[in-house]
Chain A
Amino acid sequence: MKEMVFSGFGGQGVLTAGLIIADVALAHDMYATWIPSYGAEMRGGKANCVVKVDNEQVGTPSLEEADILMAMNIPSLEFAERVKAGGTILCDSDFVADIPEHRTRNDVEYYFIPFNQIAREIGNARGSNVVAAGVVTALLSDMFDKDTAKDAMLGFFEDKGKGKFAEGNTKAFYAGYDYMKSLLK
């Protein structure tokens, strides 16, 4: 079972990135839950979701101990204390340049990723959430196959009537995947 938190400002696409990963899990015949943060804070610009993927039905869908935290802004680091030892924190380097001291953990891996820059470079400036999905897929490549995951991502947008962005989204997904792979080497 893998437990993930995607957190950022509203509009950064963290909810969508989480949904894509849930669909990726389904494409691998796994089970998934996706639960958004819910309440007044949603309207204050903060957004997050918890995604759990497992080979059997997921128990409680809410956050227990995360394997992965995707932190797209500084306030998202409040979840750092909920990451399990040995877990991973993925930071958007455009917004999270330094980790505040009180949020620093020595028992987790930090990666700093320029999601927006990657998206811009491949000519899909609005595709940073797809880049993020590619990054998580790479991080979980022992569970997820790159191309199966890409197809699941395309299917996700197809279902939303956004199939025409397939080319740009494919590029963004692979760019995120490859970037994370290069960091993991």
Chain B
Amino acid sequence: MAKKKMMKGNMAIAEAALRGGMDIYAGYPITPSTEVMEYLSGRMIDLGRVFIQAESELAAINMVFGAGMMGKRAMTASSGPGMALKQEGMSYMARNNTPAVILNVTRWGTGLGSLNAGQTDYLRDTRGGGEGGYRNIVFAPNSIQEAVDITYDSFEVAEKYQNPVVIMTCANLGQMEEPCSFPEFKTERPTFDWAMDGTGRGIAARQRGEGSIEVVGQHTLDKVNAMIENEQRWETFEVEDAEYVFVAFGLPSRACKDTVKALRAKGEKVGLIRPITIWPFPVKAFAKLGSQVKGFISVEGTNVGQMVEDVALATKKVKTNLPCYLLNHGGNLPTVKQITAFYEGVKAGNIKEVF
């Protein structure tokens, strides 16, 4: 690892994807993700790889679809409304067992959204917003270094399950800078017997994607179950004796961790579960909690609660009827003050649970 340097999140992810073996990038400009394609437009040419500025988000994702079916490492990036347009293509990819990496540098909001960071894409990206019956693995790093490390290995994850992998950052993580370093360029590349290369060897893979309801359905179920079993990733902080547990992902989780430290200093028994994969949701982290837990607080950059639904489902692994509270901090990062005040309200019984 080289010495760490300050780098903007969007560019760091782009560089990590290059080093992870990305063969082709196809994308369409959209704030706040655009630096990804700006950065790659030169770097991909320098490295003799393929860069396409596509005519639309639809075209971009379908370019990635084609490339992924050739066994090539393909990536696109976008933001909320652009991701919405990509959903159909991503569903095709899940159906056709296509590996690819899709970066969502989220905005906050509905429709056109806003230029603020937010987590309002949570349910769409974790459930898959295209023609149904599939799931995407969704990584939600909370630092630029973690985003680099996840991106670097994301193609292998996509290839392992032959499925799209989403990396969800946000406007803040995309635009901010912090120190990071990069691993070496990957040189080893797997070959795939399903990859289309024109010789006809891709026919079997094609037929599997186009097979009967039973065959396709069972294959997808097996794939999804394997992802749930193998890919849950999370970080816990001070949960061993925690009575109230915050749940937060991405950049807001760092304010939660600061809050836990501050409250612990005052003797409060609080902890944090930080999902690193928001799908599969880290239910296993909840299963490890003790029976002293009195409630969960989902801290999320939404308006209408989203992750709190997954938190509520996951509490079944602790015990029944644990209250789940929701702190919507909207399109700005939450402050320690704000989270602390909410916690105090919960503890005093002044805030009603959502579930």
Contact = CB atoms under 8 A, between A and B. Distances in A.
Contacts of A40: 115
Interface stretch (B90-98, B149-157, B161-169, B176-184): B176-184
B172 A59 contact: no
A35 B32 CA distance: 14
B5 A22 contact: no
Contact of A35 (B5, B175, B179, B255): B175
A62 B332 contact: yes
Contacts of A63: 335
A62 B254 CA distance: 10
Contact of A34 (B4, B143, B178, B254): B178
A34 B176 contact: yes
A160 B257 CA distance: 34
**What is the interface of chain A mostly: helix, strand, loop, or mixed?**
mixed
A39 B176 contact: no
B17 interface: no
Nearest to B6: A22
Contacts of B333: 60-62
B254 A38 contact: no
A35 B9 CA distance: 10
B117 interface: yes
Nearest to A18: B177
B6 A19 contact: yes
B38 to A, nearest CB: 16
Interface string B306-338: 000000000000000000000000001111110
A1 B354 CA distance: 36
Contacts of B171: 38
Q: Which of B115, B143, B179, B333 has the most CB of A within 10 A?
A: B179
Interface size range of chain A in the complex: 20 to 34
Interface in A42-98: 57-64
B14 interface: no
Contact of A59 (B116, B254, B337): B254
A58 B257 contact: no
B6 A61 contact: no
Contacts of B334: 60
Given A19-B177, A62-B332, 20 more contacts: A26-B179, A34-B176, A34-B177, A35-B175, A35-B176, A35-B177, A38-B115, A38-B117, A38-B171, A40-B115, A57-B143, A58-B254, A59-B254, A59-B258, A59-B261, A60-B251, A60-B252, A61-B254, A62-B255, A63-B335
Interface of A: 19, 22-23, 26, 31-36, 38-40, 57-64, 159
Interface of B: 4-6, 32, 114-117, 143, 171-172, 175-179, 251-252, 254-255, 257-258, 261, 332-337
30 contacts: A19-B6, A22-B177, A23-B6, A26-B5, A31-B178, A32-B6, A33-B178, A34-B177, A34-B178, A35-B176, A35-B177, A36-B176, A38-B32, A38-B175, A39-B114, A39-B115, A58-B178, A59-B255, A60-B251, A60-B254, A60-B258, A60-B334, A61-B178, A61-B251, A61-B254, A62-B172, A62-B332, A63-B335, A64-B335, A159-B5
